[in-house]
Chain A
């Protein structure tokens, strides 16, 4: 059985953005770190998910200064909007409700 956990990238991103603004690579690392490597988002799926969240009004984006390590391109940071923050906390409550009370093991 695979040790990875399946989760919708939009859900993972909303939860990751609660702790602060972030850009693509940083958000991938944040999700991976918080889930001890169990949830891994890929570059191919993260940007469509972020754009979809932006179109839904849950996040908005802004550009940093051009950076030499990106070949003169800026980073595009994403942050939660008021509506996005509400949705993220509602989703978090729903997920926590799903996992409690903890089932008896054995």
Chain B
């Protein structure tokens, strides 16, 4: 029984690898790494992060907090776009990004940007669930 599962898993991995090109795999891995790195420091204040980096002796790059926040927002939204429907990403995620852009333009505090991002991610996921339910509940003609 266990052998069957193992061979099934190997067959699935082989199919996925055959169906995707090497570039797609490396693109996916790089996006995943960016997301993990972004999520790791998502709720950390960029100034604290920069100070921590300089204390560790790392090369600290002077970047405005807003651009750091925006690049993190983009990594999160980009990661979501890998598995969510394009329409939801264009509408819900696009609107969320536009609101965050306006927050950055009026120099809103970083915590507000991340709070907006967190709530937007919840709403986007909810919209995706609703979309799936709508599609699956549709009666066949």
Residues of A in contact with B (beta carbons under 8 Å apart): 24-25, 43-44, 47-48, 63, 67, 69-71, 73-76
Contact = CB atoms under 8 A, between A and B. Distances in A.
B123 A75 contact: no
Given A70-B97, A73-B90, A74-B90, 18 more contacts: A25-B98, A43-B92, A43-B96, A43-B123, A44-B123, A47-B91, A47-B92, A67-B94, A67-B98, A70-B94, A71-B73, A71-B77, A71-B93, A73-B89, A73-B93, A74-B94, A75-B94, A76-B91
A44 B126 contact: yes
B90 A76 contact: yes
Interface string B98-141: 11011000000000000000000001001100100000000000
A84 B54 CA distance: 60
Give the contact-size bracket for chain B.
Answer: 20 to 34
A72 to B, nearest CB: 9
Given A48-B130, A71-B77, A73-B89, A43 B95 contact: yes
Given A25-B95, A76-B90, A71 B74 contact: yes
A25 B99 contact: yes
A25 B97 CA distance: 11
Identify the 8 closest CB pairs spanning chains A and B, nearest first.
A73-B94, A70-B94, A69-B101, A71-B97, A73-B90, A70-B97, A25-B95, A70-B98
B95 A24 contact: yes
A48 B77 CA distance: 21
A63 B91 CA distance: 10
Nearest to A71: B97
B91 A24 contact: yes
A43 B124 CA distance: 10
B116 to A, nearest CB: 11
B94 A71 contact: yes
Nearest to B101: A69
Interface string B65-95: 0000000011001100000000101111111
